[in-house]
Chain A
Amino acid sequence: MPANLVPSASEFLRISPEILLTVAGTLMMTLESMFSRKRTLGVIAFFALLGAIGLSVAAHGDPGAAFHGMIMVDGFTTFFRILVFATGMLTILMSADYLEKAKAESAEFYALLVFSIVGQSLMVSSNELIMIFIGLETSSIASYVMAGYLRADRRNSEAALKYFLLGSFATAFLLYGIAWTYGITGATNLSEIRRVLLSGQTADSALLLLAATAMMFVGFAFKVSAAPFQMWAPDVYQGAPAPVSAFLSAGPKAAAFAMFFRVALTAFEPVKASWEPLLWASALATMVIGNFAALRQTNIKRLLAYSSIAHAGYVMVALTAASETGTAAAMFYLAAYAAMNLGAFAIVTHVARRGERYVEVNDMAGLSVRQPLTAALLTVFLLSLIGVPLTGGFFGKFYIFKAALDANLVWLTVLGLLNSAVAAYYYLRVVVVMYMQPPVDEEMALEAPSAGIAATMWVAAVATVLLGVIPGLVLDFAGRSADLAR
């Protein structure tokens, strides 16, 4: 059957976004010296991502599997592809000015970002454990480097080292879980695994299979910063450059959740009953740890890191629900979360100024007087993170807890809502500081936001409010795409 070895045109179309980005990234690395102005490379990366969005939409017109079922293009894939590409574009807008001030703008950064996104795009489109692993590693290794991008800044180095060591550790668990799964089922393709599990051939090795799923859970939970594997997130988010922290909390996390959902709800859905209690406990612990530890943070990056853990907990609730409504809710939530968190981090990047000298919550004092518009937009993002109505964050939580109730997770819903009630307190503290404390004199004046930061702020704010007022825009698509190809 030699004919099978030549992929068809539509198979190429289905991975065209990854191809485009890989080519763009490689060219950027090799042709760096041709551009004296490094900003041009950022522009190239930006338009490459824009092109990738176009190709994703085109590929969506011809959905299906590609390359012997390794890639699966369905609505779910398209949704997350566009989400990570858009996250990447906003990250570029946010970073350009930051890097210039740090005198560190280079092809390396933009190429790494693009490569990391290629990995995430693969993660969300793979239908095969080995491909998932390759995507995950592509994304992670690039992210490790980005976390330590400003080599001269020791905070960066420390963050990168911690991220790398712990990340590799967790990846090993994932790989071990994959190996066991292959040993038991003889397959790495998700649909194939599902078929084998449903056929009942694995009844003899039920315990081994459970251990394999548990080990894969360790790897996934680490990547989405779910308890008990959340401890790296605060250190990494605090230490990494602010735009990179923004990126890590939105793009890689969304992609990791996408693969988590796909693996859990397709391949391992037949053994749902055995992992449900684990997800339940992990979701609850993640919410509690994130929200309560955030209560006492004084560094705003660290506060947002704990907040991102808490939000991962809410998405875990949707995963625990293990239903189509749960998947749709999680998709909506991750999109809303990306918008509001990128917006919040953009403003943190802006207020932190050169060398990130102002990253305490108290450094926000008097922002409402100095730059009322910036303060107002940050308030919108924080209100959305709290989950106040008319913002995307509200509907995100609403759908998730609705899905959880539909799945009869009454206690998880009650405790989750209680958690989100607590959460309001630490976000509000930032608002209080901005609006109710007089500005302090600082040695470094706060300039007007750069064009890139301003653009990020506004795009994120419009998206946050739009998702709150007309959630149907995204939810309809999410609802139609939640039925994962099995």
Chain B
Amino acid sequence: MHQLWLIPALPLAGFLVNGIFGRKLSKPAVNAVAIGSVLLSFLWVVKTLLALGPLESAYTESYFTWIQSGIVNVGFDLAVDRLAAVMLLVVTGIGLLIHIYAIGYMSHEGGYYRFFAYLNLFMFFMLILVMAANFLLLFVGWEGVGLCSYLLIGFYFLKKSAGDAGKKAFVVNRIGDFGFSLAIFLTLVTFGSLDFGEVSAKAATMSPETTAGVVTGICLLLLVGATGKSAQVPLYVWLPDAMEGPTPVSALIHAATMVTAGVYMVARAAPLFNLAPIALDVVAFVGLITAVLAATIGLAQNDIKKVFAYSTVSQLGYMFLALGAGAYSAGIFHVMTHAFFKALLFLGAGSVIHALEGEQDLRRMGGLRSKIPVTFLVLMCAAVAIAGVPPFSGFKSKDEILLAVHAYSPWMFWVGVVTAGMTAFYVFRAIFLCFFGTYRGKAHPHESPLVMTLPLGVLALLSLGGGYINVPQYLAPVFGQPNVDHDMTLVAISVGAGLAGIFLAWLFYVVKPELPEALARTFSAPYKLIYNKYYVDEAYDALVVHPLRDGSRSVLWRGIDAGLIDGAVNGTGALARSIGAGLRTMQSGYIRRYAAWVVLGSIVVVAMVTFLGGAR
């Protein structure tokens, strides 16, 4: 036994201590508990992985039988294989860095202990999600991280927009969870098990004719779940709004870890997806559409966190594209490198916002290069990584994805290349607007403390060099050997697109700052369209939210919930003074109406049973 349970249990203990006693603890004590628990968890991951050695097949620990009834038999089992190992290192490692950063970032905020308690709770559920050996336990983590996400988005609850954003995230994710839970039921009914190993073994032995339809169904439902959690079309709308949460939360939950849960889940279910080529095609399409759509929106946003948020959506689209192309290992590779550079982008943005006392609008930044040089330097590292400049980490993983996509479908490769160009453009647009030119704001910028810049430095090194961790090779026993030959022409094309994007951004925002303005005027219609995010939020409001709300008000609330308690049976005056009064109230509006309902209902019921039943 390697005591895998300790890995999630440590942050849980941190949550309990801070959650229950946090109010009475001093700040250093809260820090020690929060950081200490994650640090120990990280060390336990490292220790376990070293002890487990090559880990060619999954290592499982069963703790107890969770459900046993009839054919359902689900255990409380944790498992580690190479896929989980990569995720574990990313989650605990990046999580640790972000926890440290948060000490500095949140030092002036109210509810300090509460923040760290939620953050630790999040780590607990995320680790459960990653180590779950069956769909049900994965679902536990899945729901749990969602819950923490809403709590943390709404952390600044005095701000109305923060509360609204939390609710939006919750509601949109419910739609995804609905799909996921249906997928779980369907899996259970089809395979009689929820254990990953057992399900894939059974799926492999069933004849294609019997599995084709139902496995495709399961995979599509899983995809619905993944689109919710990982912010894919059409359920991506909650993620940009989620930026209302504190910046470390954006970095940890809404960039590096939780939002990649959908990617992880699809990779986990790879044995099923491999049997359902149609579902894989849908995954690829969803990913591609998301990547393009979000990248174009990112071109025209002015809030620095929103730019990076749409960038996250777009990069997640890339990962789904990889999954759809069957290049699972490339997708997970991108999960890792993305965790490095996107966490860095957000934390760097946080450092900028911290320096400018809360300013997030790119139009009121500029010229900060010399004022906050460390932040500038690390953000440049992240930017070259995401733009796909060789030989940094983003280049390596994006390259892997694009080559696989080319083998899968050449036209998708070209769309992916154009998106890569846009990615480079909007990231460097943000960098140039923020750090070059002259300062356009009023605050007095100051560099962040060491406790914040230190994690930034570590992440910068990972963003630059993380690509040399050969994840696809490591994951070969899980997903098979990636059989893509590195065609240098294709590599050159994608690198060229990235460099072109950077050059255009430099031209637009450094050399000729008046140019974007003019372009926006010339192409005002398309500009407005992307500036307003294709009006998707408005469309959802008009098509879904309003009809639902008005419908439930007029039909159900007014129609069915007409009764009320006013202390005097519906306003007919005092009652129960005598039997006579009691009888008189029978004449009163509502009771009579209720009785009419009972009669009507009974007639319907009797008629329904007699005629429907009799007809058989």
Residues of chain B lying within 8 A (CB to CB) of residue A274? 609, 612-614, 616
**Which of B63-71, B332-340, B360-368 lies at the interface with chain A?**
B63-71
Docked-complex contact B70 and A479, CB < 8 angstroms: yes
**Which of B248-256, B341-349, B427-435, B599-607 lies at the interface with chain A?**
B599-607
Docked-complex contact A207 and B614, CB < 8 angstroms: yes
**Which of A62-70, A83-91, A195-203, A209-217 lies at the interface with chain B?**
A209-217
Considering the chains assembled together, what is the distance between the CA atoms of A475 and B69 in angstroms? 8
Which residue on chain B has the smallest CB distance to residue A408? B189
Which residue on chain A has the smallest CB distance to residue B562? A231
Query: Out of B64, B163, B170, B598, which one reaches A229, CB within 8 Å?
Result: B598
Tally of contacts, chain A with chain B, CB under 8 A: 200
Docked-complex contact A206 and B163, CB < 8 angstroms: no
Instruction: Assess whether B47 is interfacial by the CB under 8 Å rule.
Output: no
Considering the chains assembled together, what is the distance between the CA atoms of A390 and B121 in angstroms? 14
Instruction: Assess whether A182 is interfacial by the CB under 8 Å rule.
Output: no
**Which of A7-15, A32-40, A72-80, A292-300 lies at the interface with chain B?**
A292-300
Contact with B along A160-189 (1 / 0, CB 8 A): 011001100110010000000000000000
**Which of B139-147, B298-306, B536-544 lies at the interface with chain A?**
B139-147
Instruction: Assess whether B52 is interfacial by the CB under 8 Å rule.
Output: no
Residues of chain A lying within 8 A (CB to CB) of residue B613? 210, 271, 273-275, 277
Considering the chains assembled together, what is the distance between the CA atoms of A55 and B454 in angstroms? 67
Considering the chains assembled together, what is the distance between the CA atoms of A472 and B65 in angstroms? 8
**Which of A134-142, A428-436, A442-450 lies at the interface with chain B?**
A428-436
With known contacts A328-B69, A389-B144, A232–B594 Cβ distance under 8 A: yes
Which residue on chain A has the smallest CB distance to residue B163? A436
Considering the chains assembled together, what is the distance between the CA atoms of A425 and B169 in angstroms? 11
With known contacts A207-B610, A213-B609, A428–B170 Cβ distance under 8 A: yes
Docked-complex contact B69 and A479, CB < 8 angstroms: yes
Q: Identify which of residues 115-150 in chain B touch chain A, using a CB-to-CB cut-off of 8 Å.
A: 136, 139-140, 143-144, 147, 150
Instruction: Assess whether A454 is interfacial by the CB under 8 Å rule.
Output: no
Residues of chain B lying within 8 A (CB to CB) of residue A435? 151, 154, 157
**Which of A22-30, A111-119, A124-132, A151-159 lies at the interface with chain B?**
A151-159
Docked-complex contact B143 and A389, CB < 8 angstroms: yes
Which residue on chain A has the smallest CB distance to residue B64? A470
Docked-complex contact B575 and A234, CB < 8 angstroms: no
With known contacts A325-B70, A428-B167, A158–B565 Cβ distance under 8 A: yes
Docked-complex contact B576 and A215, CB < 8 angstroms: no
**Which of B30-38, B174-182, B379-387, B467-475 lies at the interface with chain A?**
B174-182
Considering the chains assembled together, what is the distance between the CA atoms of A153 and B566 in angstroms? 11
Contact with B along A274-293 (1 / 0, CB 8 A): 11011001000000010011
Considering the chains assembled together, what is the distance between the CA atoms of A359 and B157 in angstroms? 23
Residues of chain B lying within 8 A (CB to CB) of residue A424? 170, 174
Instruction: Assess whether B158 is interfacial by the CB under 8 Å rule.
Output: yes
Considering the chains assembled together, what is the distance between the CA atoms of A166 and B174 in angstroms? 37
Residues of chain B lying within 8 A (CB to CB) of residue A217? 605, 609
Considering the chains assembled together, what is the distance between the CA atoms of A214 and B597 in angstroms? 16
Considering the chains assembled together, what is the distance between the CA atoms of A215 and B163 in angstroms? 48
Instruction: Assess whether B484 is interfacial by the CB under 8 Å rule.
Output: no
Query: Out of A155, A158, A293, A389, which one reaches B561, CB within 8 Å?
Result: A293
Considering the chains assembled together, what is the distance between the CA atoms of A216 and B181 in angstroms? 35
Docked-complex contact B151 and A222, CB < 8 angstroms: no
Max count, chain A CB within 10 A of own CB: residue among B139, B158, B567? B567
Considering the chains assembled together, what is the distance between the CA atoms of A206 and B601 in angstroms? 22
Instruction: Assess whether A438 is interfacial by the CB under 8 Å rule.
Output: yes
Query: Out of A372, A425, A476, which one reaches B171, CB within 8 Å?
Result: A425
Instruction: Assess whether A43 is interfacial by the CB under 8 Å rule.
Output: no
Docked-complex contact A277 and B612, CB < 8 angstroms: yes
Query: Out of B69, B154, B158, B565, which one reaches A159, CB within 8 Å?
Result: B565
Q: Identify which of residues 380-421 in chain A touch chain B, using a CB-to-CB cut-off of 8 Å.
A: 383, 388-390, 395, 399, 401-402, 405-406, 413-414, 417-418, 421
Q: Helix, strand, loop or mixed for chain A's interface?
A: helix
Instruction: Assess whether A122 is interfacial by the CB under 8 Å rule.
Output: no
Query: Out of B163, B182, B600, which one reaches A414, CB within 8 Å?
Result: B182
Residues of chain A lying within 8 A (CB to CB) of residue B574? 154
Docked-complex contact B609 and A275, CB < 8 angstroms: yes
Q: Identify which of residues 455-475 in chain A touch chain B, using a CB-to-CB cut-off of 8 Å.
A: 470-472, 475
Docked-complex contact A210 and B610, CB < 8 angstroms: yes
Which residue on chain A has the smallest CB distance to residue B592? A165
Instruction: Assess whether A235 is interfacial by the CB under 8 Å rule.
Output: yes
Query: Out of A229, A293, A436, which one reaches B557, CB within 8 Å?
Result: A293
Q: How far is the CB of A330 from chain B (nearest CB, A)?
A: 13
Q: How far is the CB of B553 from chain A (nearest CB, A)?
A: 6
Residues of chain A lying within 8 A (CB to CB) of residue B65? 472
Query: Out of B67, B158, B564, which one reaches A471, CB within 8 Å?
Result: B67
Instruction: Assess whether A241 is interfacial by the CB under 8 Å rule.
Output: no
Considering the chains assembled together, what is the distance between the CA atoms of A430 and B406 in angstroms? 50
Docked-complex contact A218 and B70, CB < 8 angstroms: no
Instruction: Assess whether B608 is interfacial by the CB under 8 Å rule.
Output: yes
Query: Out of A155, A406, A425, which one reaches B189, CB within 8 Å?
Result: A406
Docked-complex contact B609 and A162, CB < 8 angstroms: no
13 CB < 8 A contacts A-B: A206-B614, A207-B614, A210-B610, A229-B601, A271-B613, A274-B609, A293-B560, A295-B556, A405-B188, A417-B185, A428-B150, A470-B66, A471-B67
Apart from A293-B552, A293-B561, 10 more pairs, CB < 8 Å? A158-B569, A166-B595, A228-B600, A297-B561, A376-B19, A383-B147, A390-B144, A402-B188, A414-B182, A471-B67
What 3 A-B pairs are tightest by C-beta distance, nearest first? A274-B613, A154-B567, A436-B157
Residues of chain B at the chain A interface (Cβ within 8 Å) = 19, 23, 64-70, 72, 136, 139-140, 143-144, 147, 150-151, 154, 157-158, 163, 166-167, 170-171, 174-175, 177-178, 181-182, 185-186, 188-189, 552-553, 556-557, 560-561, 563-570, 574-576, 582, 585-586, 590-591, 594-595, 597-598, 600-602, 604-606, 608-610, 612-614, 616
